[in-house]
Amino acid sequence: MKFAILVNEGPFGHQATASALSFAQAVLTGGHELVRVFFYMDGVYNANRLASPPAGECSTARAWSELAAESRVDLVVCIAAGMARGVREANLAPGFRISGLGQMVEAAVLADRLVTFGA
């Protein structure tokens, strides 16, 4: 099955990101296709490479980059939501790219299921 994922909450203050990561890994482990992970609303904070939470507390930003490196998952940050929150090319974590909301719509159309985390 083809899945797309929408992440709407930040990595540090909300469970949504950790759940989305687990789900993304399960999709790939299960032999399914992950069309795209789109980061919107506070979800764009997942792409901020300047985040450095205390050791052992939260490492989801790095985990997304690792997932992208291992599995070539397309990680897309909404440009408008990112600009509003100070997430831009200058502080973008590896493996992410910045684009428009149209990429979310396209992912929803191309995937059999769009699964939302947060909000």
Tell me which residues touch other proteins (CB under 8 A). Answer: 6, 8, 40-41, 80-81, 100-102, 104-106, 108-110, 114, 116, 119
Place of tokens 């992970």: 37
At closest approach, how far in Å is the CB of 78 from other proteins? 9
Among 5, 75, 78, 93, the active-site one is 78
Q: Which is nearer to other proteins, 63 or 87 (CB)?
A: 87
Q: Which is nearer to other proteins, 82 or 95 (CB)?
A: 82
Place of tokens 């910045």: 98
Q: Which is nearer to other proteins, 68 or 104 (CB)?
A: 104
Residue 78 is a catalytic residue = yes
At closest approach, how far in Å is the CB of 42 from other proteins? 8
For residues 118 and 14, is the Cβ–Cβ distance under 8 A?
yes
At closest approach, how far in Å is the CB of 94 from other proteins? 26
Which residues are the active-site residues? 78
